[in-house]
Amino acid sequence: MFYDNSILIQLKKKFKKKTLRIEGIVKKSEKGFGFLETDSKNSYFIPPKKIKKVMHGDKIIAKIGFSKNREIVIPEKLIKSFLQVFIGRLQKINQQFFIVPNYIFLKEYIPCTFLIDQNSEFKSGDWFIAKLTKHKLNHDSFHANLIKFIAKKEDPFISWWITLSKYNLKKKEPKVDVKNISFFDSEKRLDLTNLSFITIDNSSTKDIDDALFIKKLGNNFKLIVAISDTTSFIHSKSKLDIIAAKRAFTNYLPGFNIPMLPRILSEDLCSLKPNQKRPVLACKMIISKTGKIQKNSEFFLAWIKSKEKLSYQNVSDWLEKKNSWIPSTKNIQKQLKLLKKLCISRIEWRKKYALIFPERLEYKFHLSSNGEVLKISNEKRRIAHKIVEECMISANITAANFLSKKIGFGLYNNHSGFDISDAKQISLLLKKNNIFITSKEILTLKGFRSLYKILKKNKYKYLNNRIRKFQSFSEFSLIPNPHYALGLKRYATWTSPIRKYGDIINHRFLKSIILGCQPEIINQNTIKKISDQKRKHRLSEKEIVELLYIQYFSKNNFKNKIFQSEIIDVLRGGIRAKLLDTGANVFIPNSFIHNIRSELELNLEDGLIYVKKKILHQISDIIQVKIIDIKKDTKSIIAKVIQN
């Protein structure tokens, strides 16, 4: 009898008007419970039946309601799906195919359709790139199209291919018609094939792009750095040039590399292989015995013929008198001795007038043919590595100055030091540690150099770690600005054109000056693409390394083994530390730092760990940890602090 009651109808209309709706992001727990989190960090429970209509990460509009005196939300409208184009694992159930997204909080089995041929050959466990085409908030079910095959389930390098696909990076070398690759440069070149150029690389390196020749010139050194002239094989704007520009870098991953250029170029025609005549872009520098590069440097085109391919290990062993290997000729022995002297003088010059950051251990994965980690070694950079590095840095400094003087631009590596907004805070932090450098001085190249010359002392290890967190990142720019991290007024790389497209750009700038022609204009979009590719390469390598650590630690059953480690970060839930012998990062939860939680305090900003208001640990401390668990899903190694 209340059905047509006008008052009740008005009350219903009034109630409908007051129905509240909110916008937020769906968050699911590992156990499947769901919540809607708003921008203001308020969290609302989504009932189990309703959570099935949305996925973790979806941005939605939901209606607020009540159930059993508890405020809940009901998903109503999809704003943006978390899944769009994604990577997933194929599953076949009762003759129907599903794709399972490769995300820890996404457990959905999404019905899928093949948009590629030969779907009968695929089976459960194979990996694909898929595109979500239907969402449950808009349709009766989820649905996806499989748009690209990634790898078969049994592929031993499946983790590599999944990670590369995630970042849209290539898995193979560029495909080009070998007939279209030829040397086209007709410019006059100096014939330096009689000089004793040598190359120093890893014994396995095939893409050799730099060769060195040195001669004593009175009290000075005459150094010629010869770099493979890849641009004499690659026309600007050609198909091959466009491919190289898109890739931007050779991708060096544990186990193998994926070249920027076809291997016929990178490992053959452009590689400075021993006893092979090769075209180069060369830089002649006169360097004083104190390590200063004189102003009469030259760039020119030449032919060279490397006399021998040497390895870092053999050269270091011989110069450090640690093994029986001997250079094949007295001429090469003389070259190596002079290069060592030059290297030492350049290091001393950079210590005094620029910056050299403390050396860190380098970690190397030794893999089997099927991608299993056999061992992880750590090694310091030895004298041969330093020789090559100092020669390349010298050549890059010279190129930066040459480009700046001749045309006023180039592709520069800039580093701005600290952001102006952080300068005052940094200055106050330094003052607390009795280092008196003003915020104004910190923002200058001279002040930055002075600061890090102080911080390199071992007693400032903790402070150095904290200050580094304020540092900006390096960036590419056409305008020459200082590179604070190197302590240099300007810096531009050109010494790896086989591996870096940015170095190809600088080759073209340098050659335009040599040949007296107009330099090619490079737009900001090209620079942005190079920067984006560099970031993707860094992230992909990091992810693959994390996976390899999990594989290695799981296989070798390192649970309960004790390692020496360095604290590298303090978080709300615990601390991160690096195992010194392998380089693996471990996470130490609060409960594994100190067993009485109420006595423990973590200061994230200062990187300090307190127990009973007294400092227990700080960032940069070396501590003993025991491996407690290895979590494959989250790619994390859990450890516990072993207190002395």
pLDDT band at 4 (very low <50, low <70, confident <90, very high): low
Q: Where in the chain is the domain with CATH 2.40.50.140?
A: 19-80, 557-642
**Mean pLDDT throughout 274-302?**
97
Please say if 499 is a catalytic residue.
yes
Please say if 382 is a catalytic residue.
no
Fold assignment, 557-642: OB fold (Dihydrolipoamide Acetyltransferase, E2P) (2.40.50)
Greater confidence (47 vs 11) lies with: 47
Whether 596 shows a pLDDT value over 50: the answer reads yes
Q: Where in the chain is the domain with CATH 2.40.50.640?
A: 85-154
- Range with the poorest average pLDDT among 63-77, 379-393, 475-489: 63-77
The confidence score (pLDDT) of residue 115 equals 79
Of the residues 126, 201, 317, 503, only one is catalytic, namely 201
Fold assignment, 85-154: OB fold (Dihydrolipoamide Acetyltransferase, E2P) (2.40.50)
**Mean pLDDT throughout 275-304?**
97
Whether 387 shows a pLDDT value over 70: the answer reads yes
The confidence score (pLDDT) of residue 116 equals 67
Instruction: Give the residue from 68, 64, 73, 89 showing the smallest Cα distance to 26.
Output: 73
**Mean pLDDT throughout 355-363?**
87
**Mean pLDDT throughout 456-465?**
91
Residues 404-417: tens digit of each pLDDT: 999 999 999 999 99
- Mean per-residue pLDDT over the chain, rounded: 93
pLDDT band at 360 (very low <50, low <70, confident <90, very high): confident
Of the residues 126, 210, 422, 503, only one is catalytic, namely 210
**Mean pLDDT throughout 313-323?**
94
Whether 182 and 265 have beta carbons less than 8 Å apart is answered as: no
470/589 Cα distance (integer angstroms):
26
**How does DSSP classify residue 368?**
-
479/472 Cα distance (integer angstroms):
18
The confidence score (pLDDT) of residue 3 equals 46
Cβ-based neighbour number of residue 33 at 10 Å: 12
Of the residues 189, 247, 490, 499, only one is catalytic, namely 499
Cβ-based neighbour number of residue 579 at 10 Å: 22
Domain spanning 19-80: CATH superfamily: Nucleic acid-binding proteins (2.40.50.140)
Please say if 508 is a catalytic residue.
no
The confidence score (pLDDT) of residue 198 equals 98
Please say if 117 is a catalytic residue.
no
Of the residues 44, 58, 189, 209, only one is catalytic, namely 209
**Mean pLDDT throughout 536-557?**
94
Helix (H) or strand (E) holding 129: strand 127-134
Please say if 4 is a catalytic residue.
no
Helix (H) or strand (E) holding 512: helix 501-515
Whether 10 shows a pLDDT value over 90: the answer reads no
Instruction: Give the residue from 126, 131, 133, 109 showing the smallest Cα distance to 162.
Output: 126
Residues 475-518: tens digit of each pLDDT: 999 999 999 999 999 999 999 999 999 999 999 999 999 999 99
628/642 Cα distance (integer angstroms):
12
pLDDT band at 120 (very low <50, low <70, confident <90, very high): low
Residues 293-313: tens digit of each pLDDT: 999 999 999 999 999 999 999
Residue 426, classified by CB atoms within 10 Å of its CB into exposed (0-12), middle (13-18) or buried (19+), is buried
- Range with the poorest average pLDDT among 154-158, 316-320, 383-387, 555-559: 555-559
Whether 1 shows a pLDDT value over 60: the answer reads no
Please say if 21 is a catalytic residue.
no
Whether 2 shows a pLDDT value over 50: the answer reads no
Whether 77 shows a pLDDT value over 90: the answer reads yes
Whether 165 shows a pLDDT value over 50: the answer reads yes
Whether 32 shows a pLDDT value over 80: the answer reads no
